[in-house]
Chain A
Amino acid sequence: MRASTTFGVLRAVLITIVCAVIALPIVWMIAAAFKTNVQVTDPTVGLAFTPTWDNFRGVLADGALVQSLGNSLLIGVVSTALSIVIAVPAAWAVGRFRMRRTGSIVLVARIIPAISLLVPWYYMFAQLGLVGSHLVLILSHMFVSVPLILWIMIGFFEGLPVELEDAARTDGLSAFGAFLRIALPLAAPGTASAAVLAFIFSWNNFIFALILADERTMTMPVLLFNFMSYASTDWGGLMAAATLMTVPVLLAAVFGQRYLVAGLTAGATKG
Chain B
Amino acid sequence: MTTTTARAAVGAPGRRAPSGEKPLVTFEQANRRLKWALLAPALGFVGLMIVFPLVFTINLSLTDAFGAVNAGNSYLGLQNFADALTDTRRFWPAVGRTVTFTLGAVALETVLGLALAMLMRKAFRGMEIVRTILMVPLLATPVAIGILWMLILDPTNGIANHLLGFVGIPPQEFLGSVAQSLPTLMLIDVWQWTPMMTVLLLAGLTTLPEEPEEAARVDGANAWQRFVHVILPMLRTTILTALVLRGVDALKTFDLIYATKGPGGGSDFEAETLNVYAYGLTFDYQEYGLASAVLVLFTLFIVAIVVVLRRRTERSAS
CB contact list, A114-136 vs B, under 8 A:
114-121, 123-124
Q: Which residue of A lies closest to B127 (CB)?
A: A15
Which residues of B lie under 8 Å from residue A113 when comparing CB positions?
Answer: 252, 275, 278, 295, 298-299, 302
Q: Which residue in B57, B130, B283 is a CB contact (below 8 Å) of A15?
A: B130
Per-position binary interface string of chain A over residues 97-119, scored 1 when its CB falls under 8 Å from any chain B CB and 0 otherwise: 10100100110111111111111
Q: Contact between A142 and B45 (Cβ–Cβ < 8 Å)?
A: yes
**Residue from B5, B120, B207, B279 within 8 A of A170 (CB atoms):** B5
Q: In the complex, are the beta carbons of A22 and B38 less than 8 A apart? A: no
Q: Is the C-beta of A225 less than 8 angstroms from some C-beta in chain B?
A: yes
B45 neighbours in A (Cβ, 8 Å): 86, 142-143, 146
Knowing A169-B2, A207-B254, A245-B144, say if A14 contacts B139 (CB, 8 Å).
Answer: no
CB interface residues, A 45-89, toward B, < 8 Å = 46, 86-87, 89
Q: Which of A18, A90, A123, A167 sits near B38, CB closer than 8 Å?
A: A90
Q: Are A206 and B142 in contact (CB under 8 A)?
A: yes
Interface SS of chain A:
helix
Please indicate which of the listed interface residues A116, A242, A245, A254 has the most CB atoms of chain B within 10 Å of its own CB: A116
Among A41, A113, A250, the most chain B Cβ lie within 10 Å of the Cβ of A113
Q: Are A115 and B248 in contact (CB under 8 A)?
A: no
Asked whether any CB of chain A lies closer than 8 Å to the CB of B151, the reply is: yes
Q: What's the dominant secondary structure at chain B's contact region?
A: helix
Question: A121–B255 Cα gap in the complex (Å)?
Answer: 19
Contact residue among A18, A146, A246 (Cβ-Cβ distance under 8 Å from B46): A146
A239 touches B38 (CB 8 A): no
Residue from A22, A147, A245 in contact with B141 in the complex, judged by beta carbons closer than 8 Å = A245
Could you say which residues of chain A place their CB within 8 Å of the CB of B199? 261, 264-265
Question: Count of A residues near B, CB < 8 Å?
Answer: 95
How far apart are A171's CB and chain B's nearest CB, in angstroms? 11
Q: Which residues of chain A are within 8 angstroms of B306 by Cβ–Cβ distance?
A: 111
In the complex, chain A residues whose CB is within 8 Å of the CB of B12: none
Give complex CA distance A270, B150 in Å: 38
Contact partner, B255, options A119, A150, A206, Cβ 8 Å: A206
- Whether B296 lies near A175 (C-beta < 8 A) is no
- The residue on B at minimum CB distance from A238 is B147
Q: Determine which residue in B128, B162, B252 has the highest number of CB atoms from chain A within 10 A of its CB, and name it.
A: B252
**A14–B53 CB distance below 8 A:** no
Question: A249–B130 contact, CB under 8 A?
Answer: no
Give A131 to B281 CA distance when docked, in angstroms: 21
Residues of B within 8 A of A170 (CB): 2, 5-6
Q: Which 5 A-B pairs have the closest CB atoms?
A: A120-B53, A43-B162, A90-B42, A120-B56, A265-B203
List 19 contacting pairs A-B, 8 Å CB cutoff, sorted by A.
Answer: A11-B119, A15-B120, A41-B157, A92-B38, A105-B43, A113-B252, A117-B57, A119-B288, A206-B259, A211-B283, A221-B142, A221-B144, A225-B143, A245-B144, A249-B136, A261-B199, A268-B238, A269-B200, A271-B241
